Amino acid sequence: MKWITCILAVSLSAQLCSGATIQVPFEQPAAQTGTDAAGINDPVLVGAPDVDSSEILCSDVNGDGMVYTIGDIVHLVRYISGIAHAVAPLENSDVDLCGSVNMSDLALYLQFFVWGLVVPICQPTEECYLPTGANEVTLGCPIEIPVYSTDSFPLPIYITNDTDLVAMSLGFRYDSDDIEIVHLDTTGSVLPPGWRVAAVSPKDSNYVFTVPDSNMILIVCFADVPEYQYLSPQEGGLLTTMWLRAKQGAAEQNVDFDSAFVPPAGEFIFSPVGKGSISPAYTDCGTADVILFDYICGDADGSGEVDVDDIVLMIQCIFADCWDIPIEQLDADCSGDFDIDDVVYLILYIFAGGNVPCDLDGDSVPDC
């Protein structure tokens, strides 16, 4: 089954490495079964070739008239990720018969086709949207990003799950055009080895759907390895880290990252072992998840914090023209000029417990 992993990897190779729910209005199709030579019902044998792609056939995602194939899985991944249109009726993709196409349909398909588990695929049950329970997604916020910096800064995403998971899709919307998501980083992630993590945005050139707001990102995670691996329950585990940076010309502002539905099928859900979808709680920092600021007084090197490196750079600036550093970052004592007194002020702050740069009287209110 290693070829399944390879094909799924190729299908997503162009990607970046409280959610709304959109219900697809269609009736639940009947469960599909076939008969093998021994007269035993076998879903894998269902589907005749040359069936028109407009015909409803549960699990025939790619409309080729055959069901439960690797081609169906690949197209379902691409559709959920927004990089391919549906080529068959959406009823065909709703393999959990819950009335919408989402990550839980893919999870059910993987459990059945890749791992050979006994799951109710294309069979109606009452297990569709499950209680939230202790499941939660939390942003590691707030983070501060200087608008003048070209560096990227980390925004971690943590998860808590109270049941075993086989997949998830998490959509986010941010309310500013002044930031961009550079990449995802799964270093230190709680996801088991072999899980695939990918992201898609309406800003991507291969995204094929039209949306009114492109400031969104959909993160999809699923276990696509031949060996059955699920994410066991844990609390506050690191899922992934989004690296962000301010665009050139960005203004000072607070940026809100909210959970969101990302078309066409990116619901904000966890997909547990078996069947069903869980809408996890979402915790962030209100409307100030990301803070874009113009400068930090005393932060000469623009690293986002005041430390000994700033003292070294300021000493260098005494003897060399640091014209590219705003005076506001260098003028630690609010004198209106940059000189040796600013270096002394910073030394006292770092090594002798002096007042914060630009807070001469220590009242936590900047004086310049």
Asked which of 36-45, 205-214, 346-355 is least confident by mean pLDDT, the reply is 36-45
pLDDT at residue 138 greater than cutoff 80: yes
| Least confident segment among 19-33, 303-317, 323-337, 340-354 | 19-33
Q: Examine the pLDDT at 39 and tell me if it is beyond 60.
A: no
What span, in angstroms and rounded, lies between the C-alpha atoms of 16 and 184?
Answer: 7
Confidence of residue 47 (pLDDT cuts 50, 70, 90): very low
Per-residue pLDDT band for 54 (boundaries 50, 70, 90) equals: low
Residue 29 pLDDT: 30
Residue 1 has pLDDT above 60, yes or no: no
Mean pLDDT, the chain, whole residue set = 84
Residue with the larger pLDDT of the pair 194 and 27: 194
pLDDT band at 36 (very low <50, low <70, confident <90, very high): very low
Distance CA 128, CA 97 (A): 8
| φ/ψ of residue 246, rounded to 5 | -80, 140
**Which pLDDT score, from 0 to 100, does residue 334 have?**
92
Answer yes or no: is pLDDT of 243 > 50.
yes
Q: What percent of the chain has pLDDT over 90?
A: 64
Specify the pLDDT at position 33.
31
pLDDT above 80: residue 122: yes
| Residue recorded with tokens 């990302």 | 262
pLDDT exceeds cutoff 70 at 105: yes
pLDDT digits (tens, 9 = 90+) for 9-24: 545 543 433 222 222 2
What is the arithmetic mean of pLDDT over 286-300? 90
The CA distance from 75 to 7, in Å, is 11
Cα–Cα distances (Å) from 14 to 8, 147, 158, 366, in that order, read: 12, 29, 25, 46
Determine the Cα angle at 180 with ends 218 and 259, to 5°.
Answer: 35
pLDDT of amino acid 90 = 92
Mean pLDDT of 328-351: 93
Confidence check: pLDDT of 331 > 80: yes
Q: In the prediction, which pLDDT does 8 show?
A: 52
Name 271's bridge partners.
167
Please provide residue 346's backbone torsions phi and psi, each rounded to the nearest 5 degrees: -70, -40
pLDDT of residue 151 exceeding 90: no
pLDDT of 116 reads: 86
Cα–Cα distances (Å) from 341 to 314, 315, 348, 350, in that order, read: 11, 11, 11, 14
Average pLDDT, integer, range 208-214: 91
Confidence of residue 38 (pLDDT cuts 50, 70, 90): very low
Least Cα distance to 258 among 183, 154, 131, 170 occurs for 170
Binned at pLDDT 50, 70 and 90, residue 100 comes out as: very high
Domains of the chain: 136-286 (2.60.40.680), 299-368 (1.10.1330.10)
Whether residue 35 has pLDDT greater than 60: no
- For residue 98, the model assigns a pLDDT of 93
pLDDT of 45 over the 80 cut = no
> What's the predicted TM-score (pTM) here?
0.74
